[in-house]
Amino acid sequence: MNIVYFGSMRIGRPNGPGLNEKDFLQDLENRSGINLFVYAPIEQGCTLNTQKIRIVRNVVGYPVLREIHAATLLCLDIIRKLVKPDVVVFRLGQLPLIQLAVIKILKFFDIPTHVKTVGVGICDVSQKRGLLNYITFALLRSIFRAIDSIDTPTELARRRITDTFKLSGATVILVGNGAKDVSLDAQLSKVQGSTCYGYVGRFPVKRGGRQVIETVSHSLKLGLQATGLITGDNKEIAELKVLAESLGVSNKINFVGIVPQEEVAFLLSKIDVGFSIMEGILGTAGQKLRQYLMHGCMVVYGNDELMDSLKEEFIVPFIDPEHLLGRLANSNGQVHLVSRDVIHKWARQNVSYSSFNSVRVNHLLKLSTHYKIG
């Protein structure tokens, strides 16, 4: 099957979407029976296996221009018969007009199209006022009605997208977010009896860093040994340092700041319990939680549909530090940590990117076959 990837996200950029798209392409690289063609901006230093990918068109990285560049190259390659797509996979970008035009052209040539990883936040466009938002919503609605299928990671998002854009339920399929499989390295020596709570991401104030500090503070009040590790934007780190100082735990929190992606695994090896709290946001499928689990960390979460459905002892919803420590503490008044190997084994079986992406690939295969038969 020939899969063409038309991306607007910068592949390999050190943020959620950039890494998600890199994982997607690398997963396709390793699947037999797939010929991959890539038309997308690629982050400097990100390497794709050109031995397995038939064509890599690294388009310009500037917003708006990248969609125009990718569309031009794809159309030229199809005309020159350098690529004969069985299906074209899109990631929505900042210039939906160009993507809509490409989808219409592909539909004229009976080439099926699919939009991947659409989040519930896209529905907010319908609630915003202003001419630009009205135009954007109209373009998105046209894309979703012209496209053959869409995938989204949660049932809530699936319902919202279907209702907002008046789509058939069969158009929007569910494909969960997962984490890239890793091998656990030998763990660093830890202080016996001490628990490290952590947040590894860019936005610690709104997504878990504050709760890490509060949990460390409450632990110390209970006589438990605890430390914290927090990464993120320097402005948000500065705000959290004030909080740590006010609670008298600044000497117990390691504020790391922004770190290169290649250092994330090292930091996760130091964390026992990872936090990801999406305050005020529903229908999320935080990849950070899956990443914690894949590295053998217990997780504390807020607002995650998949995590809500699970009953594992190492997956704990956050209410407040007192409730959390009540869940984690054993009968001896010490924090009970599940073995990293046990968590890692579970994660490989239940939240690996490869297993979730198999659902998407099987759907693309059926979509392509349906068009050929039709």
Q: 296-347 pLDDT, tens per residue?
A: 999 999 989 999 999 999 999 999 999 999 999 887 778 999 999 999 999 9
Give the CA angle between residues 6, 101, 118 to the nearest 5°: 50
Query: Using CA atoms, how far apart are residues 252 and 232, in angstroms rounded to an integer?
Result: 17
Confidence of residue 374 (pLDDT cuts 50, 70, 90): low
User: 10 Å Cβ neighbour count for 251?
Assistant: 9
Q: What percentage of the chain has pLDDT greater than the value 70?
A: 98
Integer Rg of the chain from CA: 22
Query: Using CA atoms, how far apart are residues 248 and 231, in angstroms rounded to an integer?
Result: 19
Query: Using CA atoms, how far apart are residues 292 and 148, in angstroms rounded to an integer?
Result: 34
pLDDT of 189 reads 47
User: 10 Å Cβ neighbour count for 295?
Assistant: 23
Query: Using CA atoms, how far apart are residues 212 and 318, in angstroms rounded to an integer?
Result: 11
Q: Which CATH class is domain 195-350?
A: alpha beta
Mean pLDDT (the chain, rounded): 91
Q: How many residues does the chain have?
A: 374
| Domain 2-178+353-369 CATH superfamily | Glycogen Phosphorylase B; (3.40.50.2000)
Please say whether the beta carbons of 41 and 10 come within 8 A. yes
pLDDT of 143 reads 96
pLDDT tens digits for 57-104?
A: 999 988 889 999 999 999 999 999 999 999 999 998 877 899 999 999
Q: Which of 287, 269, 200 is nearest to 21 (CA)?
A: 287
Confidence (pTM): 0.89
pLDDT of 370 reads 78
pLDDT tens digits for 36-65?
A: 999 999 998 888 877 788 999 999 988 889
Average pLDDT of span 244-267: 94
Q: How far is CA 69 from the centre of its chain?
A: 26
2-178+353-369 matches 195-350 in fold:
yes
User: How is the chain split into domains, by residue range?
Assistant: 2-178+353-369, 195-350
Backbone phi and psi for residue 356, each to the nearest 5 degrees, phi listed first: -70, -40
